[in-house]
C-alpha cells in the first residue's frame, strides 16, 4: 500500500488518520488535537480540507467545511508588544 502524507508540516499519513478515526476519534477537533493536524507552519491550509474529506468518507457524516477562525478580540499595534523591552547589548 502506498503511503500518502496528508499533513506535510506534522508528517501525518492518511493511514494514521484512518486508524485514529477507527479508534474512536470521530470528531474533527478530537482528531486535530490527537494528531496535531493543522498545527504546523501552514496552519492547516493544505491538510484540514483533506482530513475533513477523509473523516466524512470514513464516518459517512457531513463535516463542517470551514475551520473555526479565532481572530484577536481587540487588534493591537505590533509596537505594543515590544514596549518595555530593553536591549541588553
Task: Convert the pLDDT of each residue in 26-77 to its tens digit.
Answer: 988 899 999 999 888 888 888 999 999 999 999 998 877 555 556 666 777 7
Contacts with 15 (C-beta within 8 Å, 6 or more apart), sequence order = 1, 3, 4
9: closest CA among 31, 42, 32? 42
Please compute the mean of the pLDDT values over residues 76-84 and round it to a whole number: 74
pLDDT at residue 62 in the model: 85
- 25 domain residue, yes or no: yes
Residue 48 structural domain: 5-59
Look at residue 88 and tell me whether its pLDDT is greater than 60: no
Where residue 41 sits, what CATH number does that domain have? 1.10.10.1100
Instruction: Give the count of domains, the chain.
Output: 1
State how far the Cα of 71 lies from the Cα of 24, in Å rounded to an integer. Answer: 30
pLDDT at residue 81 in the model: 75
Please compute the mean of the pLDDT values over residues 13-34 and round it to a whole number: 93
pTM of the model: 0.68
Q: Is 13 helix (H, G, I), strand (E, B) or coil?
A: strand
Amino acid at each position: 500500500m502506498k503511503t500518502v502524507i496528508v499533513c506535510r508540516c506534522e508528517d501525518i499519513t492518511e493511514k494514521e488518520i484512518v486508524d485514529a478515526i477507527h479508534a474512536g476519534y470521530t470528531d474533527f477537533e478530537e482528531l486535530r488535537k490527537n494528531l496535531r493536524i493543522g498545527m504546523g507552519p501552514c496552519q492547516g491550509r493544505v491538510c484540514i480540507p483533506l482530513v475533513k474529506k477523509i473523516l466524512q468518507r470514513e464516518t459517512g457524516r457531513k463535516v463542517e467545511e470551514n475551520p473555526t477562525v479565532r481572530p484577536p478580540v481587540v487588534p493591537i499595534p505590533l509596537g505594543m508588544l515590544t514596549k518595555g523591552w530593553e536591549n541588553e547589548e
